[in-house]
Amino acid sequence: MSEIISLDTNVLSALNFFVKNQPQVFDIEKYNLPFVVGSGNAYHTGQILFGDKSAIYADESNFKKLVSAFKKSIENKLITQAVIISASGGKDSVWEIEEAKKHQLQATLLTTKKDSDAARIADKVYVYDSIDEPYTYNVSTYMGMILSVTKEDPMYIKNIIESLEFPTNFDNYKSYAFIVPDKYMNVCPMLDIKKSELFGPKVSLRAFSQGHARHAKFVIRAKEELVISLGKNNDCFGDPGSRWNIAIPDNLNYAGIMALTYYIVGKIQNSKPQYFKENVSNYVNDYGPKAYGLTKPFDLIVPGSNKLDL
């Protein structure tokens, strides 16, 4: 990949990749009340992976504080593990693993980079194959991790996506809102991050679970906002003429919901000025690395860990 593709194209490329390359299985049953640590969508991926388990979730801002707060539980061996999730195996994941090991926690890393700084110091490493992707997209990286637990069929997901029938005036809306079934609530903050990455202050993109949507999120109706509901038909929220109800099968799981919503966000990206593509090069070469105290630029196109011809 030598150009910055849109998010919807990236989703399809990732699914094509996983059709041929099923991710290794991640056995979450081996983990009992671990710290699950990640930044941005790595954090939310952790919430998805351990959604049916007891876990303590942390990110780069509060991990040290939480480890200190659970000091007695760690000393009494009630907590013995930390799972660090990082697509790159760099940035904050390095000190997070060091912090975990300082407190005698077994540090497991989930990453796509087997030769990363974090991988070199972790006690156990799960490496997931991924494809080349524009900076921040992280579609195949986190989707591979999710598939390793949900074991969904990528071709089945792709067929659902390709059967979508978009409203004829989809491109004309100024803002968009997703409402997803409660059991998929952890995809909502992932969409919020995609909003910040792709649109910043330029386009309104909101996402709520059905339960959260009821709590005054749609007091203000606007014809300019398309409300996209997955699963249950929306008869309440948004302008009645600006609703798109998408039926989804009951057996669709988190990888499918992630792919479906990311694909739609990519179509929104295509319909608007190319804010991300026009600004990301400056970010990765200048103020992005500076925020970490680095001088080396980030990769504009992040290399995948597998070079299979798609």
Which of 75, 108, 127 corresponds to the end of one domain?
127
pLDDT-based confidence at 79, cuts 50/70/90?
very high
Q: Is residue 293 part of a domain?
A: no
Q: What CA–CA distances, in Å, run from 57 to 123, 132, 141, 182, 276?
A: 19, 28, 20, 19, 30
Identify the domain boundary among 127, 144, 165.
Answer: 127
In this structure, are 118 and 75 located in the same domain?
Answer: yes
| Domain end position, chosen among 77, 109, 127 | 127
304 touches 140 (CB < 8 A): yes
Q: Examine residue 286 and state whether it is found in any structural domain, yes or no.
A: no
pLDDT at position 75 over 70:
yes
Neighbours of 279 (CB within 10 A): 11
Same domain, 118 and 158: no
The answer to whether position 269 is within a domain reads yes
Please report which confidence band the pLDDT of residue 306 belongs to, taking 50, 70 and 90 as the band edges. Answer: low
Do 117 and 158 share a domain, yes or no? no
Residues 6+ apart with CB under 8 A from 188: 178, 180, 207, 208, 209, 212
Q: What is the pLDDT of residue 309?
A: 38
What's the confidence (pLDDT) of residue 308?
44
Distance CA 256, CA 262 (A): 10
Supply the pLDDT for residue 95.
96
Residues 110 and 158 in one domain: no
Shared domain for 118 and 179, answered yes or no, is no
User: Quick one: 186 and 240 in the same domain?
Assistant: yes
**What confidence tier does 202 reach under pLDDT thresholds 50, 70, 90?**
very high
Domain identity same for 231 and 177: yes
Strand-pair category, 106-111 with 81-85: parallel
- Asked if 248 contacts 260 with a C-beta cutoff of 8 angstroms, the reply is yes
Strand 133-134 versus strand 301-302 pairing type: antiparallel
pLDDT tens profile 126-136: 999 999 999 99
Q: Is residue 193 part of a domain?
A: yes
What is the maximum alpha-carbon separation in the chain? Answer: 61
The enclosing H or E element of 46 equals helix 41-49
Residues 99 and 175 both lie in one domain: no
Q: Are residues 114 and 37 in the same domain?
A: yes
Range of the domain at 217: 154-276
User: What separation in angstroms does the CA of 191 have from each of 32, 77, 107, 206?
Assistant: 29, 36, 28, 8
pLDDT tens, 216-237? Answer: 999 999 999 999 999 989 999 9
**Shared-domain flag, residues 203 and 163:** yes
Q: How far apart are CA 227 and CA 242, in angstroms?
A: 6
- With a pLDDT cut of 70, the percent of the chain lying above it is 98
Considering the domain architecture, whether residues 123 and 158 belong to the same structural domain is answered as no
Q: How many structural domains is the chain composed of?
A: 2
Task: Report if residue 138 sits inside a domain.
Answer: no
pLDDT, mean over the chain? 94
Q: Does 288 fall in a domain?
A: no
Tell me if 68 is assigned to some domain.
yes
Give the pLDDT band (50/70/90) at residue 146.
Answer: very high
* pLDDT of 310 over the 50 cut: no
- Which CATH number belongs to the domain containing residue 68 in this structure? 3.40.50.10490
> What pLDDT band is residue 91 in, cutting at 50, 70 and 90?
confident
**For residue 250, what pLDDT band results from cuts at 50, 70 and 90?**
confident
Nearest to 254, CA basis, from 49, 111, 84, 86: 49
Q: Is residue 134 included in any domain, yes or no?
A: no
Question: Does one domain contain both 171 and 265?
Answer: yes
Q: What are phi and psi of 115, to 5 degrees?
A: -105, 20
